[in-house]
Amino acid sequence: MPVLSKIQLGKAGLTPNFIKTLKSHFENHKDVKVSVLKGAERTEIKNYAQQIVKSMGPNYTARTIGFTINVKKWRKTKTCK
């Protein structure tokens, strides 16, 4: 099973179609890197990461590094400390 997949978040932002595509990537991959356009602000990227985790469910976590959001799927639900 391939571990990593890449997808790009366009200027339309987080649409239901983007979330659907992201979920389909997790059928075959454990981690997905979401590349955000360079015109986005850092606060906007962090908001995208929070919205992705919220829409995907409790088994997912996200981490932002520059203009990239790393989304990871866990077997068990992660709890915030």
Please give the pLDDT value at position 78. 61
Please give the pLDDT value at position 77. 63
Dihedral (CA of 80, 2, 22, 33) sign: positive
Q: What is the chain's pLDDT, residue by residue, as a tens digit (81 residues)?
A: 567 889 999 888 899 999 999 999 998 898 999 999 988 888 999 999 999 999 998 889 999 999 999 999 987 666 654
Q: How many CB atoms lie within 10 A of CB 47?
A: 15
Take residue 81 and report the two structure tokens written for it. Answer: 């400390």
Domains, in order of start, for the chain: 4-73 (3.30.110.60)
Please give the pLDDT value at position 58. 87
Please give the pLDDT value at position 79. 61
How far is Cα 68 from Cα 49, in angstroms, rounded to an integer? 10
